[in-house]
């Protein structure tokens, strides 16, 4: 785990002053049980849950994003789920603005805010702020878009890898908008994007932050990911994708995301059902790996070595919150 590893007894660090309110952040890879842990904490400490997963913000995309079920959503106050139209795209900066407003409102109600999610860039924007970055260059973007169209998105990924290997590791090879922005930043600022990220601007103030990280054993996590993907197919992922494809067309950004992309390929006859399932499982396993690479760089994480629906892990999380919060939320 390296030097940044902490057990639950080191959760007394806080970002800010003694009179700041507590904010709990649950981070970890897909299928590690973040939803289950967030619900347990919300019930125990009178908490409200704030989504930090870009997929779960999008309306109508339900099965492939593994949103909490209707009964889970009803069991605690939830925010920033189902709030983005499928034709829209929310930047990390806009997410941070909305989430900070929600945190203020939860604080005024004297409830415990619990931020949950797997989108590392959104979380960094919320907690640390984003660097302003150089101005966009439409001319450069157009050249890069043309280059991607003629030579494939992997060509952009290779360019970014040469400019900034650390940033290339964190951006998916097919995510052309993010690749273009990262290359643009490197060329315009003559600095690596990953170094600029570390000079975060405008950090969140007024909160002591307790980061709880779920880190289940890799083999067990992959087994859960495979099982969850199979359940998505069994509960109607293909039918949901067909409906969304008919309504929004292939250009809808979320249809290129994990799970939906493979379902579209199946509907087009490019993959068999079994091939599509295996491709979804593989894509989610790769995503989990990228998430852990990102989250291991988060500061002061209390790592819990298991799944969020495990009672022992939940008890450890309760103890961590109790240690940091004192009488505030007990």
How do the domains of the chain map onto residue ranges?
8-130+203-217+299-328, 138-197, 222-286
Which pair of structure tokens corresponds to residue 223? 């087994």
| pLDDT at res. 17 | 40
DSSP assigned state of 128: H
Q: How crowded is residue 150: how many other Cβ atoms within 10 Å of its Cβ?
A: 8
Q: How crowded is residue 190: how many other Cβ atoms within 10 Å of its Cβ?
A: 8
Q: How crowded is residue 132: how many other Cβ atoms within 10 Å of its Cβ?
A: 10
Quick one: what percent of the chain has pLDDT higher than 90?
65
Q: Which fold has domain 8-130+203-217+299-328?
A: Rossmann fold (3.40.50)
- The more confidently predicted of residues 199 and 270 is 270
**What burial letters (b/e) apply to 239-268, b meaning 16+ CB within 10 Å?**
ebbeebbeebeeebebbebbbbbbbbebee
* 222-286 CATH pick, 1.10.287.890, 3.60.15.10, 2.40.50.100, 3.40.109.10: 1.10.287.890
Sign (positive or negative) of CA dihedral 266, 267, 273, 278 = positive
DSSP E strands: which ranges in the chain?
Answer: 21-27, 47-51, 77-79, 112-116, 207-214, 301-304
What is the number of residues in the chain?
330
* pLDDT mean over 256-278: 96
First to last CA, the chain: 31
Is the confidence at residue 57, as pLDDT, over 50? yes
Give the separation between CA 49 and CA 38, rounded to whole angstroms: 7
Pairing mode, if any, of strands 112-116 and 47-51?
Answer: parallel
- Range name among 36-50, 150-164, 197-211, 312-326 with the lowest pLDDT average: 197-211
- The more confidently predicted of residues 244 and 129 is 244
| pLDDT at res. 145 | 84
Is the confidence at residue 13, as pLDDT, over 60? no
User: In the CATH scheme, what architecture does the domain 138-197 have?
Assistant: Orthogonal Bundle (1.10)
* pLDDT mean over 312-322: 97
List Cβ neighbours of 180 (8 Å cut-off, separation of 6 or more).
141, 144, 145, 148, 156
pTM of the prediction? 0.77
| pLDDT at res. 5 | 43
Q: How crowded is residue 4: how many other Cβ atoms within 10 Å of its Cβ?
A: 13
Q: How crowded is residue 231: how many other Cβ atoms within 10 Å of its Cβ?
A: 12
Is the confidence at residue 175, as pLDDT, over 90? no
Is the confidence at residue 238, as pLDDT, over 60? yes
| pLDDT at res. 199 | 56
Is the confidence at residue 92, as pLDDT, over 60? yes
Pairing mode, if any, of strands 112-116 and 301-304?
Answer: unpaired
Mean per-residue pLDDT of the chain: 88
């Amino acid at each position: 785990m390296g030097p940044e590893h902490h057990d639950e007894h080191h959760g007394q660090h806080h970002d800010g002053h003694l009179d700041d309110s507590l904010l709990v952040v649950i981070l970890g890879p897909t299928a590690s049980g973040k939803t289950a842990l967030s619900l347990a904490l919300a019930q125990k400490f009178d908490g409200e849950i704030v989504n930090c997963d870009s997929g779960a913000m999008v309306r109508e995309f339900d099965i492939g994003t593994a949103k909490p079920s209707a009964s889970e959503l009803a069991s605690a106050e939830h925010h920033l789920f189902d709030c983005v139209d499928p034709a829209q795209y929310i930047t990390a900066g806009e997410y941070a603005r909305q989430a900070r407003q929600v945190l203020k409102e939860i604080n005024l109600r004297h409830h415990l805010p619990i931020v949950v999610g797997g989108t590392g860039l959104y979380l960094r924007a919320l907690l640390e702020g984003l660097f302003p970055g150089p101005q966009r260059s439409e001319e450069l973007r157009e050249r890069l878009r043309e280059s991607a169209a003629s030579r494939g998105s992997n060509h952009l990924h290779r360019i970014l890898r040469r400019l900034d290997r650390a940033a290339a590791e964190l951006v998916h090879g097919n995510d052309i908008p993010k690749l273009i922005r990262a290359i643009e930043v490197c060329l315009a600022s003559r600095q690596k994007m990953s170094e600029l990220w570390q000079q975060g601007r405008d950090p969140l103030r007024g909160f002591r932050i307790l980061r709880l990280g779920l880190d289940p054993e890799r083999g067990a996590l992959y087994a859960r990911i495979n099982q969850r993907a199979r359940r998505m197919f069994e509960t109607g992922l293909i039918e949901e994708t067909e409906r969304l494809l008919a309504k929004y067309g292939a250009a809808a950004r979320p249809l290129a995301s994990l799970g939906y992309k493979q379902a579209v390929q199946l509907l087009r006859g490019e993959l068999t059902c079994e091939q599509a399932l295996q491709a979804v499982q593989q894509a989610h396993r790769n995503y989990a790996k990228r998430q852990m690479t990102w989250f291991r760089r988060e500061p002061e994480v209390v790592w819990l070595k298991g799944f969020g629906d495990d009672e022992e892990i939940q008890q450890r999380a309760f103890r961590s919150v109790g240690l940091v919060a004192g009488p505030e939320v007990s």
